[in-house]
Amino acid sequence: PMKRREFLTTTVGIATAIALPAVPQIAAKPRGRKLAIVGAGLAGLVAGYELKRRGFAVTIFEARDRPGGRVLTLREPFTGEQHAEAGAMFIPSSHDLVLKYAREFKLTLNPMPARALSPTLYLHGRKIAPQRPRGYDWPVELSPRERKLTLDEMAELYLGPPLDEIGDPRAPGWPRRALAKYDRVSFAQMLRDRGASPGAIELLRMNDADLIGDGVGSVSALMVLRENKFYETARQTFSLAGGSDRLPYAFAAQLKKELNYGCPAVKIDRTDRSVRLSVLRQGVAETTAFDQVICAVPLTVMDRIEFSPALPAALHDAQTATGYTSVTRVYLQTNGRPWDDTRFGISAYTDLPSMTLVNSTFDQPGANGILHSYMTGANARASAKLDEPGRAEAALGDTEKLFPGMRKSYARSASIAWDDEEWTRGAFAWFRPGQMFELRPRLAQPVDRLVFAGEHMSKYPGWMQGALESGLRAATEVARRR
């Protein structure tokens, strides 16, 4: 991730979890309100976990045969007990909820050395090491002023004032109406408006900003600025030892009796006194009345559920207009690690079709390694059309340019195209210009006894923190209702 200068980075403490309001009076043998949760991703799991602890009778329905949703760790077909992440990978130290539950479940956190987080770049056929001296001869055309700056200084020049102006995205009432000017334009347009040359924009997009939606020319500048603001508050980055899916499985272990796998929701029927939820269990429909329902599924699969009566038009329109980032990831396991004799840390940002290369086994033992290509937008959709051998061949061609010897040491591959996943149809939510102000406020609005949750309506879309934040918000709303 692109950060401002190190001296601007602030230290943050690990906050405690968001407190839920006290549940109404619970007798010695509590009757408990009957609650259903649709979806066992992190949002649904944390809501169920916290509500169960407060005496509610919770039932969770999940279409898949596993918990976690887009938190998915791949262990096959890899050998040597190695794994790679298909979804969530890293945990910045500012993501207090993820750290809180990881510690509560006694999961091991692996800190990432700061040096490993400085990315390698590959641009116009040139591999560029993380350490670049002042006056580096960039393979792009820059203005005379820009040529005198380091990349960090260039980022500070064009992003520093807007980042200062937007304030703290975690503050109540954020974003202020005055910030709509950043939502009305794309990130690339904002850089142009601030005087960045085409070459500077080409450099400043070589980071996570270009991995949101269809890239910096399409995504709201305010969304990218918010992401960068959160990076500023993170002094350390972690991964979960053994795989990110350790977290959803830890929640699931506390919800064994409540979880029902292989049960997709097909209809939610709201009445004045209850919500009738219909699910398919082994292909057979069953309907149960609940006092309230939390719907915690991606917006991309919401149209598979019939809502009766229909959802309010403003909510439905916001749900259908919210975009989801196309992500395809291709994993190459190798005999040995051809990148180990370079200064490559965890990631490389490139202008190749493979886009970002990630060292999946950076913190894993073993002689072998797994390097994976992380593609978004048009590149992800093009890769998704290929078969498995075609995806591996394309990734090998790109990785060989950065790390000669990849093809010779290649052993096996795996891949995932999130657009093709039946119960996801996309990787994470993103907002086009104008949509953060227009759509985002509508997504979290409850409807009668129906409450919604998911990373798409949080301050942290695309992160485990966002899923947990939205699940706790939904649980809070449920617990407040008498």
Nearest to 129 by CA among 373, 340, 343: 343
CA distance 99 to 234: 12
Evaluate if residue 233 carries a pLDDT over 80: no
CA distance 175 to 195: 25
Q: Calculate the alpha carbon distances from 333 to 78, 291, 342 in Å.
A: 7, 49, 18
Nearest to 369 by CA among 360, 357, 378: 360
Evaluate if residue 30 carries a pLDDT over 60: no
Greater model confidence, 330 or 25: 330
Greater model confidence, 371 or 29: 371
Report how far Cα 84 is from the mean position of its chain's Cα atoms. Answer: 16
CA distance 202 to 335: 34
Helix (H, G, I), strand (E, B) or coil at 175: coil
List all residues 6 or more positions away from 227 whose beta carbon is below 8 Å from its beta carbon: 1, 208, 209, 212
pTM summary value: 0.92
The backbone torsions φ and ψ at residue 122, rounded to the nearest 5 degrees and listed phi first, read -140, 115
One-letter identity of residue 198: P
| Residue range 431-446, pLDDT digits in tens | 999 999 999 889 989 9
| Residue range 406-415, pLDDT digits in tens | 999 999 999 9
| Residue range 113-134, pLDDT digits in tens | 877 778 999 999 999 988 888 8
Q: What does the DSSP 8-state code read for residue 447? A: B
Return the axis-axis angle of helices 246-253 and 42-53, rounded to nearest 10°: 30
For residues 447-460, average pLDDT:
95
For residues 254-258, average pLDDT:
98
Q: What does the DSSP 8-state code read for residue 385? A: T
CA distance 392 to 470: 36
CA distance 354 to 336: 21
| Residue range 134-174, pLDDT digits in tens | 889 999 999 999 999 999 999 999 999 999 999 999 999 99
CB 181 within 8 A of CB 437: no
Q: Calculate the alpha carbon distances from 180 to 186, 187, 445 in Å.
A: 12, 13, 21
pLDDT at 432: 98
Tell the residue number behind the tokens 């290369």, with chain if given.
357
Range 112-141 burial, b when 16+ CB lie within 10 A, else e: beeebbbbbbbbeeeebebeeeeeeebeee
Neighbours of 382 (CB within 10 A): 14
| Residue range 362-417, pLDDT digits in tens | 999 999 999 999 999 999 999 999 999 999 999 999 999 999 999 999 999 999 99
For residues 63-92, average pLDDT:
97
pLDDT at 20: 52
Q: Calculate the alpha carbon distances from 318 to 302, 431, 437 in Å.
A: 12, 11, 11
